Amino acid sequence: MYTQCPSCITVYKLQAESLARARGRFRCGHCGEVFDGLERLVERLPEDGFIDLPEEVASATPVVLAVPAMRPARQPGLNLRVTAPEKDASTWSSDWSQAVREARPQPRPSSARAPAPRVADRQEGVPSNRRWWFGSAVLTLLLGGQIAYAEREYLLQHAGTRPLLDSICQAAGCTLPMREALADIRLVSREVRPHPDAPKALLISASMVNDAAFTQAFPIVEVTLSDLSNRPIAQRRFLPSEYLAENASVSRGFPPGSTAPLVFEVADPGQSAVAFEFRFLSERPPPEPVLLSWP
């Protein structure tokens, strides 16, 4: 085989061993150029005169080697080389069978016990699913607690969840705030007249009925006096402890179907107060700031 330096066009004769050892890379002994000897590698030199050897174009795909010369065995301990040509066919067949038997793995004795498969420790491998489920349950409980705390007012007043909360709290020995249903409180009578025992004072009396099917908390009562133009001129809010005669009634709550009297003693705002209005408010959340006050 021959190759050529592309710089000084010097032609060199190669052996297959040199080509394999250099992986195709050579240094020209004439000009010192390092070049790829495979680019101009030829089996024989052209018979006619030449200057440059023909260049081999690299193939885009690997060249398929279709005609095999031989296929040596790779099994260790199995030597197929014939070292004694004088042996006859029977001797060669015997040597071949013995070599095959030696190359095969020998079975273990029956007394030898195979080692038991090692079970990977949970700490060395993937964490147990039990821990994952436990963590998920804890996170679910925390999320449910946050939602319940954010919606506590709704859950305390809802007719479907309140009996369950009452039973849980009774078993735990705690006390829940009373339910509220201001829309089910009805005002049945009301009257404003001068106070019989105090000058420049008014006596306001009324009665309210709990139409709800459960005992609820007594509301805050707001009384507003207005003039002929319906413009508020005096306003005051009364807590249950201010309009109930017994403080024990506040803790017992407003029983269903019962009637509670309301009596208020207030200062007379003057002749311009000709109309009055009652309104029931909740103690949760705190009442809105009072813009008007009683004189």
Please identify, in words, the CATH class of the domain defined by 182-281: mainly beta
As given in the structure block, the two tokens for residue 279 are 């309104």
Can you tell me the distance from the alpha carbon of 168 to that of 105, in angstroms, rounded to the nearest whole number?
72
Q: What is the pLDDT of residue 123?
A: 52
Span 228-267, pLDDT tens digits = 888 888 888 999 888 887 777 888 889 999 998 888 888 8
Q: pLDDT by residue (tens digit) across 1-31?
A: 889 898 898 988 888 888 888 888 889 998 9
Distance CA(250)–CA(210), nearest Å, equals 14
pLDDT at 138 over 70: yes
Secondary structure (H, E, C), 244-294: CCCCHHHHHCECCCCEEEEEEEEECCCCCCCEEEEEEECCCCCCCCCCCCC
Mean residue pLDDT of the chain comes to 76
Q: Are 238 and 223 in contact (CB under 8 A)?
A: yes
Q: What is the pLDDT of residue 295?
A: 59
Tell me what the mean pLDDT of segment 213-222 comes to.
Answer: 90
- pTM, rounded to two decimals: 0.42
Domain chopping of the chain, boundaries: 1-57, 145-176, 182-281
For the chain, how long is the longest CA-to-CA vector?
151
The per-residue pLDDT for range 76-131, each reduced to its tens digit, is 655 545 454 555 545 545 555 565 566 566 666 555 565 555 555 555 555 568 88
- What pLDDT shows up at residue 5? 93
